[in-house]
């Protein structure tokens, strides 16, 4: 697993505009934002359109295509779009979640340690939903019951992850006093580094 070197709070993103006079810095490039909001919309559409198969399958294939694009971008995209920027050790992710509760979770310019793993989980779960859905259409006649169940389970696991994702976004936004949804829309975050309100070693606030 790569070291979390470039996701430092103070480091602006090479290849992206430098910080502006308003104290913000570009974090999420256009491709990350467009794929994010398209995936969110398409997930809702596919989840609700089992009975409209043309739309369901079209949206499902679009999800697979977008995830493919996002994965490639995870290797060649701008700094904070890259997997190596935001996939850290599992223990860092656990420490971050604990830190949310006790006020010591560090702020990141890109995805935080837990958000990085959630990103991977969401992308994988979307792929599993899409591939199991596609397999249903490859069967001659009525698809096997177990395959239907697998597809349904993959879709429901994705839904559970999305709910968890939304809680995570809310918790981190509150913890770091910053609007992460706004950042995913406009691509910019404040470059000011906020320290945890309570010092981990002393416990002082």
How far is 30 from 70, CA to CA, in rounded Å? 12
Q: Which two tokens stand for residue 200?
A: 């981990």
Segment interacting with ligand HEM (CB under 6 A) among 4-12, 87-95, 114-122, 195-203: 114-122
Q: Which of 16, 25, 63, 113 binds ligand HEM (CB under 6 A)?
A: 63
Segment interacting with ligand HEM (CB under 6 A) among 14-22, 41-49, 94-102, 194-202: 41-49
Q: Where are the alpha helices (DSSP H) in 88-144?
A: 90-102, 113-138
Q: Which of 180, 187, 188, 190 binds ligand HEM (CB under 6 A)?
A: 180
The residue among 84 and 148 lying less far from ligand HEM, judged by its C-beta, is 148
Q: Which two tokens stand for residue 199?
A: 């010092």
Q: Which two tokens stand for residue 203?
A: 């416990």
Segment interacting with ligand HEM (CB under 6 A) among 11-19, 31-39, 96-104, 192-200: 31-39
Q: Which two tokens stand for residue 65?
A: 């295509």
Which helix (H) or strand (E) segment is 25 a member of?
Answer: strand 24-26
Strand partners of residue 164: none
Residue 26: how many other CB atoms lie within 10 Å: 22
Contact 82, 75 (CB under 8 A): yes
Number of residues that bind ligand HEM (CB under 6 A): 42
Residues in the chain: 205
Contact 135, 147 (CB under 8 A): yes
Residue 16 DSSP SS3:
coil
Segment interacting with ligand HEM (CB under 6 A) among 8-16, 95-103, 123-131, 197-205: 123-131
Q: Which of 82, 133, 176, 191 binds ligand HEM (CB under 6 A)?
A: 133
Segment interacting with ligand HEM (CB under 6 A) among 12-20, 53-61, 99-107, 191-199: 53-61
Check binding of 190 to ligand HEM (CB under 6 A).
Answer: no
Sign of the alpha-carbon torsion through 33, 70, 29, 107: positive
Q: Which of 12, 19, 36, 65 binds ligand HEM (CB under 6 A)?
A: 36
Where do contacts with ligand HEM occur on this chain (CB under 6 A)? 32, 35-36, 39-40, 43-44, 46-47, 50, 53, 56-57, 60-61, 63, 70, 111-112, 115, 119, 122-123, 126, 129-130, 133-134, 136-137, 148, 151-152, 155, 158, 162, 165-166, 169, 180-181, 184
């Amino acid at each position: 697993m790569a070291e979390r070197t470039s996701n430092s709070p103070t480091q602006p993103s090479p290849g992206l505009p430098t910080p502006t006079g308003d104290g913000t810095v570009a974090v999420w490039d256009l491709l990350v934002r467009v794929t994010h909001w398209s995936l969110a919309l398409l997930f809702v559409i596919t989840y609700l359109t089992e009975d409209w198969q043309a739309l369901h399958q079209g949206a499902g294939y679009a999800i697979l295509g977008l995830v493919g694009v996002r994965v490639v971008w995870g290797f060649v995209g701008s700094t904070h779009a890259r997997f190596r920027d935001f996939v850290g050790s599992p223990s860092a992710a656990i420490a971050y979640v604990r830190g949310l509760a006790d006020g010591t979770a560090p702020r990141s310019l890109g995805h935080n340690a837990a958000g990085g793993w959630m990103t991977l989980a969401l992308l994988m779960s979307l792929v599993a939903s899409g591939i199991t859905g596609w397999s249903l259409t490859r069967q001659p006649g009525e698809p096997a019951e177990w395959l239907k169940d697998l597809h349904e389970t993959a879709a429901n696991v994705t839904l559970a992850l999305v709910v968890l994702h939304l809680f995570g976004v809310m918790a981190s936004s509150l913890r770091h006093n910053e609007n992460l949804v706004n950042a995913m829309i406009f691509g910019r975050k404040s470059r000011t580094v906020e320290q945890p309100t309570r010092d981990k070693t002393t416990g002082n606030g």
